[in-house]
């Protein structure tokens, strides 16, 4: 026995009846749970399915990174690789161990090492300070610095001490 459809209303543009499943609200809710890549519908059983509208699958994959940019606290870290023994990378992340895992996937030897990491309430500012200090100590190529590992660790320790002193001063005046 066929189920009858309930008429929701009349479409003002076409003059035709539409049913509750075809209302704007229903279509909006349905579409919000669907994935579209460059205007093409991607079914739920696709291995990279993630509800939303994207220009590419890469765009869908990296939307989580945009959320990370909004998180202020995190870590500033020092990473080394024996292939570049004189160089250290000073970077920032919400989770330094997770960032290290990301580097390991690009190295067949899995030889990156997280030397030191400091928690910080403002990872962007702390990284900027660390980069300025490291650049004064040696050569710079992006986030990689040709300085001694111990020197990089000392830079991070000084940043941590300064942040701790700031926090204590704020707490004592409150």
Can you list the residues of the chain whose pLDDT is less than 50?
1
Domain boundary among 7, 42, 64: 64
Position 168 scores a pLDDT of 92
Looking at residue 47, what is its pLDDT? 72
Helix axes 149-173, 123-137, angle to 10 degrees: 140
For residue 2, is it within any domain? no
Number of domains making up the chain: 2
Task: Let me know whether 38 and 79 are in one domain.
Answer: no
Tell me: do 59 and 89 sit in the same domain. no
Domain membership of residue 60 as a residue range: 17-64
In a domain, 120, yes or no: yes
117 and 48 both lie in a single domain:
no
Is residue 3 in a domain?
Answer: no
pLDDT in tens, 146-156: 999 999 999 99
**What pLDDT, on a 0 to 100 scale, did the predictor assign at position 49?**
79
What is residue 1's predicted lDDT score, i.e. its pLDDT?
44
- Give the pairing type, strands 144-146 and 88-93: antiparallel
* Residue 91: predicted pLDDT: 97
């Amino acid at each position: 026995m066929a189920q009858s459809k309930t008429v929701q209303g009349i479409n003002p543009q076409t003059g035709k009846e539409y049913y509750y499943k075809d209302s704007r609200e229903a279509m909006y809710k349905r579409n919000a749970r669907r994935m579209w890549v460059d205007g093409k519908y991607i079914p739920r059983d696709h291995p990279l399915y993630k509800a939303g509208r994207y220009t590419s699958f890469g765009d869908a994959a990296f939307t989580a990174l945009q959320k990370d940019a909004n998180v202020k606290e995190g870590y500033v870290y020092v990473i080394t690789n024996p292939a570049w023994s004189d160089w250290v990378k000073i970077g920032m992340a919400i989770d330094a161990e997770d960032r290290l895992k990301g580097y390991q996937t690009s190295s067949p030897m899995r030889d990156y090492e997280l030397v030191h990491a400091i928690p910080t309430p403002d990872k962007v500012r702390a990284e900027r300070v660390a980069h300025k200090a490291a650049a004064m100590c040696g050569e710079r190529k992006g986030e990689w610095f040709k300085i001694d590992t111990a020197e990089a660790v000392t830079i991070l320790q000084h940043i941590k001490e300064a942040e701790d002193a700031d926090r204590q001063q704020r707490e004592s005046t409150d």
